[in-house]
Structures are given as C-alpha cells and as structure tokens.
Structure 1
Amino acid sequence: MARGSITETYHAALAHGLVDLPEGTSRVGVVRRPTSWFRGEVDENVPELAPPEGLLDAFQERREDLKMQGMCDEGAHNAAWEELKFEERYREHLDGADARMALSGLADRVASGEDVALVCYEGDSKRCHRHTLKELLEERTA
C-alpha cells in the first residue's frame, strides 16, 4: 500500500476555501484549546500533539509584551517563538509518553495510506508547531 500524504494548513485557510486538499484528506487539529468554530473545520483534534499549556501560556504572554512595546503581531509572534526556544521545547514535549503515542498513531495512519492535513490556528507567515510536527511525521513515514 502507498504511503499517504502529509500536508499542513491553518483554520482560516480552511474556513475561507484558501486551501485545496486532496479528496478524503483527514483534517487533524493539533491544538491544545480548540474553539467550537475550529472543531467545525477539522475531523478530529489531537491535543497531545499540541504544545503544552505552560509553553503556550509563556508564549502568549511574551508575544503580548512585545506587541505592547510596539511590535506588529507577526513580528511579536516570531520574536517570542525565538526567545522562548519554542521549537526546541515543543520537540521535548513530543518525547513525552502521551505525545509519542499520538505521534506514532498518526504516523501509522499515514504509513497505511491515509492522507492527513495538520491544522492549527497560525497563518503561513508565523512560526508554528505544525511545521515541526509535519517534519517529524515525514521522518517517521519515509
């Protein structure tokens, strides 16, 4: 059986028809705090693959601080990401038992032929954990 594809996108792109996913692609949310409108655009949400609460809280606080200092939203977002070593800390989170199990389950689905789109909130111009997650899934299913 052929390996499935792994794509990634964000909620607004789905909601406004800005992304064209292959027929039958499973839309897998990877957010810690899904809203009702987010749930309406995904087939499922796997919070174990979202960044941990503490990291999200620290990130949001630092981003808001940077915005209050005059940075634009995108600049504050990306600067907070770098300052907090977000990607490194997210990868550490994925080494935890629950995240490892969820990652393995998703990798197995892709390896068995399922097309998967990873979905979160951040637009394409902002650093995002879904890029890291896609990279790890591709490594596991290569």
Structure 2
Amino acid sequence: MTGAVHDTYVAALQHDSAGLPADARRVGVVRKPTSWFHGVVDENRPELGPPADLLEEFQALEEEFKVQGMCEEGAHNGAWDEVDFEERYRAHLESEAARAGVEDLLDLLDSGTDVALVCYENTDDKRCHRTALREHLEERV
C-alpha cells in the first residue's frame, strides 16, 4: 500500500482549511523556517526548499516586476517563468544535496504514510516548489 502525497501552505493548516487526511505526516519544505513554522509541521526538510541562489534570483525578479506595476500574482508567476524555476528546482531534487530528503519521503510513501508538503506560499493563483516536489514524488512512486 502506498501513501498519498499532498501539498498545502502553513496558513491553511493554521486555519484548519487544508483538507488533509487527519494522519498525514506534515513535512515542511522550507530552507529557513520561522520559529512558529515548526509548530504546524511534524518535521522540516530544508534541503527540499529551493536552492538559495534560485530563490534569491526569483525574489529579485518578482520584486522588479512589482515595481514595474505588475500585480502580486502576475509578478510571481512571471518571475517563475523567467528564471525557469520549476526546471531548475527539479534539477535540484536530483542533486546530492536533496537526494536523501527525496528518498526519505519516498520511503514514507512506500510504507503507506500519507505525506503533506508544507511551505508558506498560498498557491491558489501562484506556482510553488512544493507542487513541483509533489509531482516529482508522484512520478517516482
């Protein structure tokens, strides 16, 4: 029996609106969690957060787009496309730095544990690395 992989964001967990199975293991996938982040996840895997250089490049371009007058969603998604975020993040998941974290999650899923990937980004209208990670895990299960 294989567990299911879900993704959500921290505010949805705080407001009990994530719609996750009650026994899902909540795994944070942020590089630099705040102190309160640890209170809503069972563990955090910083190695599964976006690499610092990719995140910095993305955030700088997103901010530049906002200064140019783009709405938050448009700036976010435009920067995502411009820096090839998903492709570069998926390459990171294959790297030595992230391999153990990916394998640990695959082991949890193989044991029948449902896993919920958690970060800060509300993805109703924005793209997020945790969704790319969820898809990567689903492809590997």
Name 1:41's counterpart in structure 2.
40
Name 2:64's counterpart in structure 1.
65
Matched position secondary structure for 1:36: coil
Q: CA deviation at 1:92?
A: 1.2
> CA-atom RMSD, angstroms?
0.9
Matched position secondary structure for 2:63: helix
Q: CA deviation at 1:37?
A: 2.0
CA contact (8 A) 2:90 2:136 kept: no
Name 1:126's counterpart in structure 2.
126
Structure 1 segments (4+ residues) deviating >4 Å:
none
Matched position secondary structure for 1:51: coil
TM-score, normalised via structure 1 length: 0.95
Matched position secondary structure for 2:11: helix
Query: Residues of 1 paired with 2:20 and 2:90: CA distance?
Result: 27
Name 2:107's counterpart in structure 1.
108
Structure 2 residues without counterparts, runs of 5 or longer: none
Structure 1 residues without counterparts, runs of 5 or longer: none
TM-score, normalised via structure 2 length: 0.95
Query: Residues of 2 paired with 1:12 and 1:104: CA distance?
Result: 27
Query: Among the aligned pairs, what percent are the same residue?
Result: 58
Letter in 2 for 1:36: S
Aligned residues: 140
